[in-house]
Amino acid sequence: MLAVGALFDAACAAQDVELSRMASRPLATQEASPKVAAAAAGVMTSATEERSPDTSLAVSAHPSDVIELEVDGPHSPPLRCGFSNPMPGGVMAGYRADTGLDIAGSPRDVFALAAGTIEYAEAGHTLWNGRNDSPYALRIRLDVPIAFEGREITHIWYAHLSELAREVHEGGAENVHVAAGARVGKSGSANGCAHLHVGMLLDGEVEQHWGTFLLEDKVREVLCGWPARTSLPALPKR
């Protein structure tokens, strides 16, 4: 673990130089695999072929007691594989075997990559809680789970946020729904490195024990299959 941490520290130390190099690098043009494209499309449709009709993970996309998150400003457009861009202008970063995918960049707006219900958006819920670490995390229960390698991605988890569009307390009375591409906050930093951490949690298991989430390479595969050091598109100019 120390070796991995040292590698991450080294990567963060060189981040400003690397990001300046990548600023003009175009987004990779390869297409996502058919499996990934189909999984992404499942977020945008009601397709349920690979799920049991009575699955306990299925949730209504329009429950009657839900508050829709309304925020001013732009929405993030869909990427080529169907997901909304989680952090426009960010750079695909991270390291192999991380518990999710890091998207590097100075504080930028962060958007929901798929529609779902916000289970919490508040301080905590991460081990990175030092004095200089950004305090907020957010977990979204997807309206439509994503079939992937015989399992289901049921939740998206963002960490190291410096701002939230709306604070939602875990276990509170509010059910706050967010549309795909809606702004949910702003990225921050952890361990001295400016980035957003994107986690994908499996089969309704949200405590993040080993084996209940996708590792970095698998998150990258689901999220359009982009390689490291590739820039996500910036928001269109208004």
The domain limits of the chain are 2-50+61-222
- The answer for residues whose C-beta is within 8 angstroms of residue 97's C-beta and 6 or more apart is 4, 215, 216
pTM, two decimal places: 0.73
Q: Quick: pLDDT tens for 96-148.
A: 777 788 999 989 999 999 999 999 999 876 765 667 788 899 999 999 999 99
Alpha carbons 138 and 160: distance in angstroms, whole number: 9
* Beta-bridge partner residues of 92: 103
Structure tokens at 32: 């996502």
Q: What is the pLDDT of residue 155?
A: 95
